[in-house]
Amino acid sequence: MHLLVVGAGATGGYFGGRLAEAGRDVTFLVRARRAAQLEANGLQVVTPDGGFGLKPRIALPGAIQGAYDAILLAVKAYSLDGVLGDMAPAVGAGTMILPMLNGMKHIDVLRTRFGKEAVLGGVCRISAHLDGQGRIVQLAKFEDLVYGELDGSPTARIADLDAFMQGAGFHARLSLTIEREMWEKWVMLATLAGVTCLMRGTTGEIVAAPGGKDFISRFLDEVAAVVTAEGHAPGETFLAQTRSLLTAQGSPPAASMYRDLQNGSPIEADQIIGDLLNRGRQANIPVPLLTLAYTHLAIYQNRLSSK
């Protein structure tokens, strides 16, 4: 199987790097600046247990000739529109597109551009970032990649992709309920991002503040209500576990969006919070906390865009 990884940042670089290290046929589609960095220093991954490095196979936009069997799309959601044209030459009649983006809006965008049959569902869980040297630094010992047909079908092609992903140094799992997992991840991520960015602290710090635990719980309820109105009600067990995790005393979690805010980097406010806000308004659901969080994040985004 020939895999094209679109993006060699923290997510694409990590999972693509693991696959390449395990001997899989992997090419990274990157822009000139990242390509120069990778050519000079290789793809460097730092993990809690050590790490690894390799010389990746690189393709620049405009240099792709011929379709790939699969594409691992691992860019930030706000960069999606900018890479559609770059990756288009790699999409053939049988190409599988496995997106690792947050939210759900990207599914509609990809289906509109490349057709419904091309798009798979995917969820990744990893805490990592690029450091000042361009190295991928894994911050915690979890690395999960989940994938499946959006309609839950156990197709031959998804079985082939699963076989390709296994044994590459991360936890790979084929899911027949991937759409539900994607919606549930969005519930968790939107709540975590909304509360930590709005309050400028970890969940543990929020819980320690007066009214903090109740604030997190009400934010979660509001997000879950919107997703339920969309026809994808989160399971009771999932909600109970999520509530317990986010409201635990001394809990360290903070969203990657919160880290991006602190670093002055672009954020996925529109895709993670704004899209939920719009869906809630269309369903006539009260969304005061989502509205507050999005207004707060929009101020930051507007400030960045004016520089």
Cα 108 to Cα 222: distance, rounded to the nearest angstrom: 24
Tokens of 298: 């929009």
Tell me if residue 55 is catalytic: no
> Closest Cα to residue 169, out of 52, 72, 58?
52
Q: Which of 141, 185, 213, 307 is catalytic?
A: 185
Residue 302 to residues 40, 152, 184, 273, 306: CA-CA distances in angstroms?
35, 40, 29, 15, 6
Q: How many alpha carbons lie under 13 Å from residue 66 in its C-beta half-sphere?
A: 5
DSSP string, 85-151: HHHGGG--TT-EEEE--SSSHHHHHHHHHH-GGGBPEEEEEEEEEE-TTS-EEEEEEEEEEEEE-TT
Catalytic site positions: 185
